[in-house]
Amino acid sequence: MLWEFKQALYVSQRKVSPKLVEDLTNPAVRTLIQSYIASSGRFPTEGAPDEYAAVFEAAWPSEADRRTYIESKTRGAKPSYGHLALATLLMAEHSKIVWTTNFDDLVDDACAKVFGTTSALTTVGLHAPDLAHETIQGQRWPAQIKLHGDFRFRRLKNTPEELRHQDAQLRRVLIDACKSFGLVVAGYSGRDESIMSALTEALHQGTSFPGGLFWLHRGDYPPLPAVTSLLAQAGEIGIDGGLVSIENFDETTRDLVRLLRGIDTTTLDAVAGERRRWTAAQAPAGKKGWPVIRLNALPIPVLPSTCRRIVCNIEGHAAVRAAVAAAEVDVLCTRTKAGVLAFGADADLRAAFAPFGITDFALHTIEPQRLRNETGERGLLRDALSRALAREGGLTIDHRRTTDLLAPSDPMSSTWDELKSIVGKLSGGVDKFPGLTWREGVGLRIDWADERPWLLVEPRIVFSGLSEDNRFGATDFARERTVKRYNGSLNALVGFWAARLAKGGTQQRALGIGAGVEAIFQLSDATAFSRRIGP
């Protein structure tokens, strides 16, 4: 996520095309961005504890936009097996307190499921440090204390004095608690200087960490120097523990639960025993065996989590389209109950809707659960995705109610030779219907399955010049042209369009803007497959 911030910062301040820096896996691109940030002299050095917050603030100067961005990343998340296992340990009182710097409510949700109630867990945040002290003193277990060391959206030095004071109080509660409890650190890098200094201070409070200090670490990279220093000091004064290499949080908590006897694992057993109606299938190998059916659904690993929301006195989709046309700007918009939702440069959006009295101009979170149905948000994403695919793919777009039809803008171009080798001729006219022309193309729509979005790809014949008089003729022509496309040719067609649209998994942008809210997508060209799940 830090590199997403740096990319956004570079694009906005250097006013370059997002396309220039979209591939963050490219070492040259990373060097370019990091060199610019380092040469500006405005930011902490790479890897510094406050680098994350400093770049975040610079990339999104508005605190409201930062809040919306963070909420878009956490909303709709569900507890993993590890969260449920942690809740099981809390219910069995093998663990009593969870200290967290996270923003989500996954521990709360896990405890609600395991305990069967939302009242079992006492959660204390930054704004109630006194309650944290009272909870521990009163032994109101289990407890969760949210140490928002970076204050969610701003750096420590940019927070009001009251919040700095409350942060100091919470850290004092943490230091005092370390005198009575051991600590297992999981999923935390140690980047937050305020919390690391609190743990270091706790080392020198006499009989601290009586149950030990264990730092769970995954990956091949060494821990941050602050973590290494903390554990070294702990070892020097005889505190049990150290660095523990793990595969992941879920497997580690599963192993811990298995080591314990006599605890209630009903919820965990139910989760482990659930069987899906489908399972993820590997890509086919050889000529035999499974998968038995190749589906036409492409995963969408990356899609926008926010868009711009404009509240103004404008009514209906037709009025929105007219306003955009009158302003002569290139933006993507839809009208919903929440207001006008849009992607585009802020200046262009203001130009289009300022005549209608803008009362609110903010970011809007695109919540995943609302994409299950054909909502205005899903329609906006489909429009943006089609634009992204067509913008540099040599394709035209024909918008329909639930499906967009894309076809080669120049079917005679050599870039379409592979498609021509599969289906033959790529365009032409329809006999007996003057003015009716056709092109080989593809129909696209976004659908929802397995709690995630998919792009459905359907090879289609795309017509121009359709009317009520020739519609039946177009239907007959399309049927005759496609009726003999059996498994082999359909498989080749789906494979062609999957590869063509995914572009090797690179990020694709709908508008190519350097300021405002862009719609960025990434597709996988590995389509879904079915297979037998029985013997």
- What are the pLDDT digits (tens) for 65-81? 777 777 777 777 889 99
What pLDDT shows up at residue 75?
75
| Joined tokens for residue 447 | 């659908």
* Radius of gyration, alpha carbons of the chain: 28
What pLDDT shows up at residue 149?
46
Q: Which residues lie across from 458 on neighbouring strands?
A: 443
Say whether 495 sits in a helix, a strand or coil. helix
**Where do the structural domains in the chain lie, given as residue ranges?**
2-74, 81-273, 292-299+370-535, 306-365
What pLDDT shows up at residue 292?
66
Residue spans of alpha helices (H) in 392-455: 417-423
Within a 10 A sphere around the Cβ of 491, how many other Cβ atoms? 14
Q: Left, alpha or beta for 316 (phi > 0: left; psi -120 to 50: alpha)?
A: left
Within a 10 A sphere around the Cβ of 151, how many other Cβ atoms? 19
What pLDDT shows up at residue 114?
95
Do residues 518 and 343 touch, judged by C-beta distance below 8 A?
Answer: yes
Using omega within 30 degrees of 0 as the cis cutoff, is the peptide bond preceding 79 cis?
no
How far is the first Cα of the chain from the last one, in angstroms, to the nearest whole number? 43
Residue (of 186, 172, 182) closest to 211 by Cα position: 182
What pLDDT shows up at residue 278?
47
Burial state string for 197-222 with b = 16 or more CB within 10 A and e = fewer than 16: ebbeebbeeeebbeeebbbbbeeeee
Read off φ and ψ for residue 199, nearest 5 degrees: -65, -35
168: which residues sit within 8 A by CB, 6+ positions away? none
| Joined tokens for residue 253 | 């908590």
Say whether 354 sits in a helix, a strand or coil. helix
320: which residues sit within 8 A by CB, 6+ positions away? 314, 333, 334, 335, 340
What pLDDT shows up at residue 277?
47
Say whether 441 sits in a helix, a strand or coil. strand
In 126-195, beta strands by DSSP E: 143-146, 183-185
Instruction: Report the alpha-carbon distance of residue 252 to residue 217 in Å, rounded.
Output: 11
What pLDDT shows up at residue 508?
95
Say whether 203 sits in a helix, a strand or coil. helix
Q: Which fold does the domain 81-273 belong to in CATH? A: Rossmann fold (3.40.50)
**Angle, CA of 342, 345 and 347, to the nearest 5°:** 110
What pLDDT shows up at residue 27?
62
Using omega within 30 degrees of 0 as the cis cutoff, is the peptide bond preceding 142 cis?
yes
Which residues of the chain are modeled with pLDDT < 70? 1-3, 7, 10-11, 14-30, 47, 49-50, 148-166, 220, 272-292, 531-535
Token pair 């009163």 is found at: 138
Within a 10 A sphere around the Cβ of 422, how many other Cβ atoms? 17
Q: Which residues lie across from 447 on neighbouring strands?
A: 454
Residue (of 194, 225, 205, 221) closest to 50 by Cα position: 194
Dihedral angle computed from the Cα positions of residues 113, 118, 121 and 124, in that order, rounded to the nearest 10 degrees:
130
What pTM was estimated for this model as a whole? 0.55
479: which residues sit within 8 A by CB, 6+ positions away? none
Instruction: Report the alpha-carbon distance of residue 507 to residue 121 in Å, rounded.
Output: 41
Q: 51-59 vs 2-14: helix axis angle to the nearest 10?
A: 40
Residue spans of alpha helices (H) in 143-260: 161-177, 193-203, 225-236, 249-259
Q: Which residues lie across from 407 on neighbouring strands?
A: 396
Within a 10 A sphere around the Cβ of 517, how many other Cβ atoms? 23
Q: Give per-residue pLDDT as tens, 374-429.
A: 788 999 999 999 999 999 899 999 998 778 999 999 999 999 999 999 999 999 99
Within a 10 A sphere around the Cβ of 379, how many other Cβ atoms? 19
Instruction: Report the alpha-carbon distance of residue 392 to residue 18 in Å, rounded.
Output: 14
Do residues 495 and 296 touch, judged by C-beta distance below 8 A?
Answer: no
Say whether 364 sits in a helix, a strand or coil. strand
Give the pairing type, strands 213-217 and 183-185.
Answer: parallel
Q: Left, alpha or beta for 504 (phi > 0: left; psi -120 to 50: alpha)?
A: left
| Joined tokens for residue 148 | 């928002």
Instruction: Report the alpha-carbon distance of residue 110 to residue 78 in Å, rounded.
Output: 8
